[in-house]
Structure 1
Amino acid sequence: MPRRMTHTGQGTHQTLKNMSYEKTLVSWLMMDGWQVFLPVLDNGHCTDILISDGPHFYRIQVKTIENNSSQVVHNQWLDKNVDVVVYFARTSNWGVIAPAFTEKKRSLDHPKHRKFIQSRKGFLREFHQF
C-alpha cells in the first residue's frame, strides 16, 4: 500500500484541503448535469468554479469556515460578479450556500442562506432552492 513519506508544509497542506472542497463541489455539480469550468487563474476575479446549463453561466466562490453556523463572514467579492458563495465547515459535516451579497459582512445563518449536509444529495437539495 502506498504511503506518503515526505513532509508537506503547513501552507501547502491547507491549500490541498481547501482545493479538495472545490473538487468535491465540481463532482456534485457535474453529477447534476451542469457544465463545469475551472479558471486557470482566479486571482482578482474571485471565481473558483464557473457553471453553465447552456445559455446561462454562474460564478461560484468556495470558502472554508470554522464550525459555527452563526459566524459572521466578510464580503471578499464585492464588484466581482460572483453569483453564489459556498461555505464548507472544516471540522464538521455541513455547509452553507449563500447568494453573493452587497453588505461588508453577514451572518452565516442569514435567512437567504441555505444550510446543507456535506453530501451530494444534501447540497443539491438546497442548491436547487435558489
Structure 2
Amino acid sequence: MPNRLTQTPPGTHQALKNTAFEILAVSWLMHDGWQVFLPILDHGHKTDILISDGPKYFRIQIKTVEARSDDHVVRNQWSESHVDYVVFFVRNSNWGVIAPAFEEAERPLNHQSHRRFNQTKNEFLKEFHKV
C-alpha cells in the first residue's frame, strides 16, 4: 500500500478537506439525478455547485465549520451573491445542515428553517428534498 512521505502544509490540508466535502455533495446530488455544474472560479459569486433539474437552476455554497453543538452560530458570507442554499458540513463530527440562504449577518445552525442531516447520502438527500 502506498505511503505518503511528504508533509502537507496545514492550509493546503484544510483546502483538500473542504474540497472533499464539496465533492461528496456533488456525488450525492448526482446519485439523485441532478445535473451538477462546477464553476471554474467562484470568486465573488460564492457558488461552489450549480445544480439543475432541466428547467430550473439552483446555486449552492458549501461551508465547513467546527461546531460543538447544533446551536453553533454561522456567519453570512454570501450576501448579495444570489446563492439559493448553503450546506454546512460539521468537519469535527458526522452531521451537517442544509439551509436556505439567509439575509441576516449570522444565524445558529439549529434555526427552524435549516435541515440537519447525518453525513450519509440517504440522510442528506432526504433532508435536501425537504428544504
**Other structure's SS at 1:11 match:** helix
Determine the structure 2 residue equivalent to 1:5: 5
Provide the C-alpha distance between the structure 1 equivalents of 2:32 and 2:24, rounded to a whole number of angstroms: 13
> TM-score with structure 2 length normalisation?
0.97
Q: Which residue of 2 aligns with 1:29?
A: 29
Matched with 1:87 is: 88
Aligned position for 2:71: 70
RMSD: 0.6
Instruction: Report the Cα offset of residue 3 of structure 1.
Output: 1.1
Moved over 2 A (4+): none
Equivalent runs, 1:38-53 vs 2, <5 Å: 38-53=38-53
After TM superposition, give the deviation of residue 6 of structure 1 in Å: 1.2
Please report how far the alpha carbon of residue 7 of structure 1 lies from its aligned counterpart in structure 2 after TM superposition: 1.4
Q: 1:125 aligns to what?
A: 126
Is there any run of 5+ residues in structure 2 with no aligned partner, and where? Answer: none
Shift of 1:65: 1.0
Q: Given residue 10 of structure 2, which amino acid in structure 1 is its aligned partner?
A: Q
Identity %: 61
1:49-83 deviations in Å (ceiling 9; x for gaps): 00000000000000011132101111111110000
Secondary structure of the residue aligned to 1:59 is: strand
Q: Matched residues in 1 for 2:57 and 2:25: separation?
A: 16
Amino acid at match of 1:36: V
Deviation at 1:92, TM superposition (A): 0.8
Alpha-carbon shift at residue 26 of structure 1 (Å): 0.3
Report the counterpart of residue 16 of structure 2 in structure 1: 16
Task: Kindly tell me the number of residue pairs found equivalent between the two proteins.
Answer: 130
CA distances 1:2-25 after superposition (whole Å, capped 9, x unpaired): 111111101000000000000000
Give unpaired runs (5+ residues) of structure 1.
none
